[in-house]
Amino acid sequence: MNLIDTYVSEVGRRLPRKNRLDIEAEIRSVLQDLLEERSQTTGKPVDDELTFEVLKEYGAPEKVAASYMPERYLIGPRLYPIFLTVVRIVFPAIVIIAATSVIINLSQHAATVSDLASAFSYALVGLATSAISALGNLVLIFAIIEWVLRNEGITVKGKDRMKEKEWDPRSLTRISTPDQVKLGEKIAEIVTSFAAIVIFNFYPRIIGFTPSLNSVAETGNWSSVTFVPLLSEAFLFYVPYLTLVWALTIFLDIFLLRQGTWNAVTRIFAIGLKLISIIIAASMLAVPSLVALTTETLAAGIGDAGAAQILMSLISQIVHIALWIVIIVESIEVVRLVYRQVVRTPAHPPLPGFVR
Amino acid sequence: MFHYTKSIDILYHIQYNVANGETMTNESFENVILELRRGVIVLAVLSRLDQEQYGYSLIKNLTDNGLEIDQGTLYPLLRRLESQGLLQSNWRVESDRPRRYYVLSDEGRTLLPRLKEEWNSIVAMLAKMLS
């Protein structure tokens, strides 16, 4: 294989398979022309030295290959500001959760210096892992949204001709109208639904306490750390149903982002989802033991039966309140959706003097 | 001594800023020139392709007419113009070497006079603005 072949194949392996052979053939032909011309003008023979000279001028293979490719990105300029906003919300939340878990653990155990050090290092490791995993998931979600939205706004017709979808200044007056889908709101919903699916399906034990942190300090053995999950089997029974609702919510949100506006079908679908959520939350209210913790396990952890009882009743109250909040919020949403469907705002008349 | 040092200091700052400003101006100048040239390449290329040309001959033609164009810019541009329907190409073997020849398509031929008109009106407009 001569130098030109090596160079051409270096460019080719960076090109999409579809056009590779054609572009390779073209570059090879151009380089041969260049060599011949250079040899004639300088009087030098066509040898490795002259080939090196010509290849250097033609450019590095990666640069040449890149010039044939369109700009590609995971998260484009349209979504990047929203991505940054979400990251700015998610990361402090992770830090707060990590800090809270350290405080809870320390309050449960005797706070010697080594306890403090263990709890702190454990929290740091947890924080780093959560941060990396959260960032990865966020990038994944945004990359999917970017991919879905790619053709929205720009349509490719015929021979790859790019045609901008016409922007209507009347859309400015519609911004606050109920039919407009709010990009930030939908993306936040997609992110939280996705996070809920991941956490409750794959890491249900992440939500819990570590009553045995003391033993780390005593034995120096990290494997002795065991979580007592907060969520009971009775709660986990509901996870498949909740997952279905979250998945359908993501599906609906992506659809809405593509459509840009609400219509009767999407509203009815959303109302259906909200009603299912209300039914699930209501039936969960009737379950006596959504929390896996018992007063006994808590008392063993804290070492104070009275405090354990108060804490236990507090946790159970919080779960109930959370469920009631879900029911109330979702009910308000249902009423809002029904109201907006029934009392539709009339379409705007054409703007005076608007010339196309 | 104090005043002397201070003066030197101020002088240094002034010199630095002037030099820096000059560099920035040159850089901005080159960027604008680059942008301007980038804008005219498509029209220049189309104007040379009423007759068939292969890549190297086209570059030579453009250079002879005073427009230096980077190899890496030209070939992707030719492909893009072909995918837009303004050019068409075919491979031909000449002196044992395959070469890709580009020429204006029917659509390109229809469009070129309109593009020339547009260019002339841009030139006239700018001449008026810059006079």
- 3-state class (DSSP) for residue B92: strand
Q: For residue A185, give both structure tokens.
A: 């709101």
Q: Given a cut of 50, is residue A161 above it in pLDDT? A: no
The secondary structure element, H or E, covering residue B97 is strand B97-104
Q: Given a cut of 70, is residue A348 above it in pLDDT? A: no
Number of domains in chain A: 2
Domain identity same for A158 and A135: yes
Tens of pLDDT along A189-248?
888 888 888 888 877 666 655 554 444 455 555 444 555 666 777 888 888 999 999 999
Tell me the residues of chain B between 45 and 104 that have a Cβ less than 8 Å away from chain A. 54-56, 60, 71-73, 75-76, 79, 83-85, 91, 97-100
Domain identity same for A137 and A259: yes
Cross-chain residue pair A67–B54, CB shorter than 8 Å: no
Q: Given a cut of 70, is residue B19 above it in pLDDT? A: no
More confident residue, A155 or A89: A89
Domain identity same for A53 and A101: no
pLDDT at site A156: 38
Best of B38, B41, B54, B56 to substitute, by most chain A Cβ atoms within 10 angstroms, is B56
pLDDT at site A16: 87
Domain identity same for A133 and A211: yes
From the CA of B99, how many Å to the nearest CA of chain A? Answer: 6
Out of A248-257, A287-296, B33-42, B94-103, which region has the weakest mean confidence (pLDDT)?
A287-296
pTM score, two decimals?
0.52
Domains along chain B with CATH numbers: 2-130 (1.10.10.10)
Confidence of residue B117 (pLDDT cuts 50, 70, 90): very high
Mean pLDDT of B27-45: 89
pLDDT at site A128: 85
Please tell me which of the candidates A27, A30, A160 has its beta carbon nearest to residue B84.
A160
Out of A310-314, B71-75, B112-116, which region has the weakest mean confidence (pLDDT)?
A310-314
Out of A126-140, A235-249, B79-93, which region has the weakest mean confidence (pLDDT)?
A126-140
Domain identity same for A100 and A14: no
pLDDT above 90 as % of chain A: 17
- The residues with which A14 forms a beta bridge, in sequence order, are none
Burial environment of residue B111 by CB neighbours within 10 A (0 to 12, 13 to 18, 19 or more): middle
Please tell me which of the candidates B83, B91, B97 has its beta carbon nearest to residue A32.
B97
C-alpha distances out from residue B80 to A293, B30, B112, Å? 65, 26, 16
* A26 shares contact with chain B (CB less than 8 Å): yes
Q: For residue B100, give both structure tokens.
A: 């890709």
Tens of pLDDT along A17-69?
888 999 999 999 989 888 988 899 898 888 889 999 999 988 899 999 988 88
ipTM exceeds 0.85: no
Domain identity same for A230 and A89: yes
Domain of A187? 80-342
Structural domain includes residue A351: no
Domain identity same for A35 and A184: no
Domain identity same for A14 and A85: no
Domain identity same for A59 and A87: no
Domain identity same for A94 and A51: no
Best of A39, A67, A157, A160 to substitute, by most chain B Cβ atoms within 10 angstroms, is A67
Structural domain includes residue A75: no
Domain identity same for A45 and A148: no
- Using alpha carbons, select from A184, A175, A186 the residue that is nearest to residue A345: A175
Q: Which of A20, A36, A67 is the last residue of a domain?
A: A67
Domain identity same for A56 and A195: no
Please tell me which of the candidates A29, A57, A159 has its beta carbon nearest to residue B97.
A29
